[in-house]
Chain A
């Protein structure tokens, strides 16, 4: 998803769960991110759902990529990057699985049963590779391809509408990896549709996804992580350069 980063200063903030104080040197967690990026927010959502303290570092991915970013993600040079005790992990869904594997307290993001896990991974991948890619191109890609990409995105949403059905979340009763992967659909999409005047997902055609997005955004922890609507709307009004946030 292409975005203009208007924040050029590196900001260091305390983690947003309210846990302040010095972090245990043995357990140093940093997130290199971009405030408006759904990929970046995926990582923060999972950390906060699990109550893991971290230091957030805003990256100027469009202006000057920091030495830290280039060091910790030399292959893709994108955010988000998680740095844990000095070692880095890149790609938001890889990071999410790493967090799940590493911190055994707090709610789980993946089911325990191997078949259910495979299904969750399948749908998370589907969101990432089919739906997100098509949406990015539908809104921000070459003009000549936007109609085609809208159809792709629309088809993707139909599958997701069917998949969520009556479930509260894709993960069942609680938020899981598919919900996290679909954060753009749950929050960003509405804002982008409003700003651009282009609608792919209507409440009438997608009542399940509409209901899901309200539950997702209404979650106490998720709502604190999401970027402010006005800021995002302002961002989407400006033209985009190429994506510097990773999948």
Chain B
């Protein structure tokens, strides 16, 4: 059976990064297609009619949507190597809990840091730093969130790190100062080939965010 895998994605998306990493962890060959979000392709609209968003994973013509669902799907289909979720049900539940936490909290909070100003931004920044600290506390002294092995929560979070310099620039704070352990974890993850190949240069992301910011904030 042929395994045709296409990923519809947008290069700075921290969600798309998750799926890229998962595919690479498993050694799956895939075709990466860049989407112009201002001009979405007919394929994207056909494969994700409900949300019309990236990333969209198309496996042998069938779409899987939502990055966190894609990562689980990839783990289950290519189960022969590099497990992403732990095998123990309790550890799996913890991993799912933290990925859910990231999904529920990170996106909205980080958005306030670069897309707003004044008091809204200050509150957003405080919330965001608190969320980072909660995650750092969960990481503790472990190399990765699940312990010794790189996995699900690391994959869920690491893409946001490419946006950190942008948050620092517009929010006027230092992630390293606030969360040294998390910063060390980022560096460790970047040493992994699947991650290094899947993440864009933070400088490019910052440029992109600067451009976006002008649309939201009158300086």
Contacts and interface: CB of A to CB of B under 8 A. Distances in A.
A121 B97 CA distance: 15
Nearest to A82: B93
B1 to A, nearest CB: 13
Given A98-B93, A102-B90, A125-B66, 4 more contacts: A89-B90, A97-B93, A117-B73, A122-B65
Contacts of A12: none
B89 A101 contact: yes
B50 interface: yes
Interface in B98-115: 100-101, 104
Given A75-B134, A118-B73, A126-B50, A102 B101 contact: no
24 contacts: A89-B90, A89-B93, A91-B96, A91-B97, A94-B93, A94-B96, A94-B97, A95-B93, A97-B93, A98-B89, A98-B92, A98-B93, A98-B96, A101-B92, A101-B93, A102-B89, A118-B69, A118-B70, A121-B66, A121-B72, A122-B64, A126-B50, A159-B50, A247-B104
B62 interface: yes
Give the size range of B's interface with the partner.
20 to 34
Contacts of B96: 91, 94, 97-98
A118 B67 CA distance: 11
Counting contact residues on chain A (CB < 8 A from B), the size range is: 20 to 34
B77 interface: yes
Contacts of B59: 115
A118 B96 CA distance: 14
Interface of A: 75, 84, 87, 89-91, 93-95, 97-98, 101-102, 114-115, 117-118, 121-122, 125-126, 159, 247
Interface in B63-85: 64-66, 69-70, 72-73, 76-77
A78 to B, nearest CB: 12
Task: Classify the interface of chain B: helix, strand, loop or mixed.
Answer: helix
Contacts of A102: 89-90
Determine the main DSSP class of A at the interface with B. Answer: helix
Contact of B101 (A75, A115, A118): A75
A94 B72 contact: no
Interface of B: 50, 59, 62, 64-66, 69-70, 72-73, 76-77, 89-90, 92-94, 96-97, 100-101, 104, 134
A159 B51 CA distance: 11
A114 B71 CA distance: 11
Contacts of B101: 75
A119 B72 CA distance: 12
Nearest to B64: A118
Contacts of B50: 126, 159
A117 B89 CA distance: 17
Contacts of A115: 59, 62, 64, 73
B72 A118 contact: yes
A93 B103 CA distance: 14
A91 B68 CA distance: 16
